[in-house]
A = this chain, B = another copy of it.
Amino acid sequence: MSLPLLVTGTIGIDTILTPGGRADGVLGGSVSFAAVAALLFADRVDAVSIIGEDFPAHYEAALEAKGVCMKGVERKKGPSFAWTGEYFDNMNKRRTVCANDAVMLEWNVHVPEPLRNHPVLVCCCMVPAQQLKCMEQCPDAALVLSDSMDKWLRRQPELLDAVISRSHITMMNEDEAKEYAQASTVMEAGEFLLSKGAAYAVVKQGEYGATLLGRDAGGNLRIFRCPAYPLKTLVDPTGAGDTFLGALAGYLSTLPPGLPPFEEVKRGIVYGTVAASFTCESFSADALLSMTKETFRRRLEEYAEMCRLPDIRLSSASAC
């Protein structure tokens, strides 16, 4: 039995261009990836978001078939959130070609009453004011996770500060965290996120993995470095960060309520890392949707073998 988990953010339609191909009008949005990934572990995941009247019924059906409860998703006249992105440089950089986000910007967040006392709240990347509204409407959440992106740290840094201060676990991409912190290293950026009030900060490093920072009871910094699963072919990294967040939150929802210990967050980050690798293997959420618990488990074992540190036997080395 896991704790009920609420995932809020965007659900939309993506068009993705990469050096190797393109996908038009495919399922996208932070909630789509995070909710499916959370269901690797969680028994119940409720999505809270907004879609337009053009949202394809088969995408909604695909999410529901995976177990995502869509009752908290509002329907509105007009178009759904739509994002077109282009990747360059071996997929390390991307730009937004265009974004039709009127439906998201105008959304007056309303969490349905029956979902307001969910103990785990996942605020995926969206407008910080809406993340805050969601947090206010779910005052009983004993564990709040949040993600954000460069756009909001440039436009609404104070609101982003507030989101982070109300999060137990917050995450940001490396470049964005460095910009936010005006820092040149991951360590400085991560400590800055912690200084904003989160108990744990995760700096997402794309194909290089993630770095988790927290503090022990004495205030000492604790760090976990988690490499990514190395794919031979990278098709489309869109949604990898959302998948990572969702799987982490899903795992943590299986633990007793409240702030998880560092070791459990580490474990969740390993699960998130491996889940995200599936997302990168296809356009949209195709590979994530077809991932099974068995394919996930097998890759996890392979990953653990790749990253297992050897015993450090300094005493046996001649000179040390």
Contacts and interface: CB of A to CB of B under 8 A. Distances in A.
Interface of A: 1-2, 19, 39-43, 90-91, 178, 184-188, 191, 205, 207-209, 211, 223-228, 230-234, 251, 254, 263-264, 266-267, 270, 293, 296-297, 300-301, 304, 306-314, 317-320
Contacts of A226: 227
Contacts of A304: 309, 312
A43 B318 CA distance: 8
B263 A310 contact: yes
Given A223-B230, A227-B227, A317-B251, A267 B310 contact: yes
B320 A184 contact: no
A225 to B, nearest CB: 4
Contacts of A263: 310
A205, A230, A263 — most chain B CB neighbours (10 Å): A230
Nearest to A212: B306
Contacts of A185: 90, 207, 230-234
Contact of A234 (B41, B184, B228, B310): B184
B310 A40 contact: no
Contact of A270 (B41, B270, B309, B318): B309
A237 to B, nearest CB: 12
A297 B320 contact: yes
A41 to B, nearest CB: 5
A187 B227 CA distance: 14
Most chain-B CB neighbours within 10 Å: which of A40, A227, A311?
Answer: A227
A264 B40 CA distance: 36
Given A254-B318, A293-B319, A306 B230 contact: no
Given A184-B234, A319-B43, A320-B296, A309 B308 contact: yes
A230 B211 contact: yes
B307 A225 contact: yes
Contacts of A205: 208
B225 A306 contact: yes
Contact of A319 (B2, B230, B307): B2
A312 B91 contact: no
A156 to B, nearest CB: 25
A60 B114 CA distance: 75
Nearest to A188: B232
Nearest to A225: B227
A37 to B, nearest CB: 12
12 contacts: A2-B319, A40-B319, A42-B319, A90-B185, A187-B230, A187-B232, A209-B227, A224-B307, A254-B317, A264-B310, A266-B309, A270-B312
Contacts of A1: 318
Given A41-B317, A267-B312, 13 more contacts: A40-B320, A90-B178, A90-B185, A187-B232, A225-B230, A263-B310, A267-B313, A270-B310, A293-B320, A297-B314, A301-B312, A304-B309, A309-B309
